[in-house]
Amino acid sequence: MRVSILGTGRMGTGLVRVLGEMIPDLQWGSRSLAKVRQKIRETEGISGLIQPVTNETALEAEVIFPTFWYRDLLPWAAEHKSQLSGKILVDIANPFTSDFTAFTLDWGTSAAEELQRLLPETKVVGAFKNTFFSVLEQPLHQGLTSDVFVTSDHEEAKACVMALLQGIPFRVLDGGGLQNNRTLERMTLFEREVALRYGSYPYVSFRLFGMGTD
Ligand SMILES: NC(=O)c1ccc[n+]([C@@H]2O[C@H](COP(=O)([O-])OP(=O)(O)OC[C@H]3O[C@@H](n4cnc5c(N)ncnc54)[C@H](OP(=O)(O)O)[C@@H]3O)[C@@H](O)[C@H]2O)c1
């Protein structure tokens, strides 16, 4: 199964670092091939087996992680609707304003649900919503991993992504249906606000007690 990550920003780079360890032929896409090649050369901890590609080539994978801002994600998804049909699309986007003070969506929905609504023939899976980029750089905290909640309305697609994530230095939990992203996305903004107050942002993540030890 081909897997691609699109975007060379903070989350794209962090996810490539973490997933590149587990997925040898992982494709890393960008709007600029030169940019992604440069990123691979200069980023510490990136596997030498990562394949730099354009975003267009990355669309050929079966599991696709776009790491764009929500405001860029929806126009991109609309433009590539037919190529995304039948694929698993892993959504990490939080619909925050650019100053991180509020949401750009109403209470009764979430980025993941809006994406699924736009792409009915695509299997949208939410993940890493609450995982800030610096946690991807340093996942172990005091010897503990934090939780990644995987959500979808497509059980097989969710199971596929959870299997793909096995072995990453995070605890991967079934987060239920896409509707739970209404909570997850909002909890992430809350997490950020509290972490800023206590001086730990962006190194902050969740771990639930009582859920086993691995
Ligand atoms: N930052 C966090 O800690 C964090 C945590 C959880 C979830 N998220 C979510 O992850 C997403 C990315 O956040 P980030 O902090 O990594 O953002 P970022 O550093 O700004 O990176 C976004 C990347 O998207 C690509 N891009 C930018 N504009 C685009 C466009 N118009 N069309 C297509 N691609 C475009 C660019 O890569 P190329 O130039 O290579 O194309 C850019 O580097 C957001 O939706 C955010 O809500 C972020």
What is the DSSP pairing of strand 123-126 with strand 27-30? unpaired
Ligand 1 close to Cβ of residue 70 (< 6 A): yes
Which pTM value belongs to this model? Answer: 0.97
Which whole-number Å values give the CA distances from 76 to 22, 73, 84, 119, 153, in the listed order?
27, 5, 11, 11, 22
Ligand 1 close to Cβ of residue 30 (< 6 A): yes
- Phi, psi at 152, each rounded to 5°: -170, 160
The closest alpha carbon to 131, from 102, 173, 82, 78, belongs to 173
Ligand 1 close to Cβ of residue 35 (< 6 A): yes
User: So what's the pLDDT on residue 211?
Assistant: 83
Give 153-198 as a DSSP string.
S-HHHHHHHHHHHTTSSSEEEE--SGGGHHHHHHHHHHHHHHHHHT
Q: Using a CB cutoff of 8 Å and minimum separation of 24, what contacts does 97-100 make?
A: 98/69, 100/189, 100/192
The ligand 1 atom nearest the CA atom of 69 = 45
For the segment 41-86, what is each residue's pLDDT rounded down to a tens digit?
Answer: 998 878 778 999 999 999 999 999 999 999 999 999 999 999 999 9
User: So what's the pLDDT on residue 172?
Assistant: 97
CA–CA separation, 200 and 84 (whole Å):
37
Q: Using 70 as the pLDDT threshold, list the residues of the chain that sit under it.
A: 213-214
Ligand 1 close to Cβ of residue 203 (< 6 A): no
The ligand 1 atom nearest the CA atom of 36 = 40
Ligand 1 close to Cβ of residue 202 (< 6 A): yes
Ligand 1, residues 4, 10, 89, 203: which to mutate, most atoms within 8 A of Cβ? 10
- On whether the CB atoms of residues 147 and 208 are closer than 8 A, the answer is yes
User: So what's the pLDDT on residue 128?
Assistant: 98
> Which sequence spans correspond to the domains of the chain?
3-197
Q: Which CATH class is domain 3-197?
A: alpha beta
- On whether the CB atoms of residues 113 and 181 are closer than 8 A, the answer is yes
User: So what's the pLDDT on residue 43?
Assistant: 87
User: Ligand 1, atom 42: nearest CA belongs to which residue?
Assistant: 9
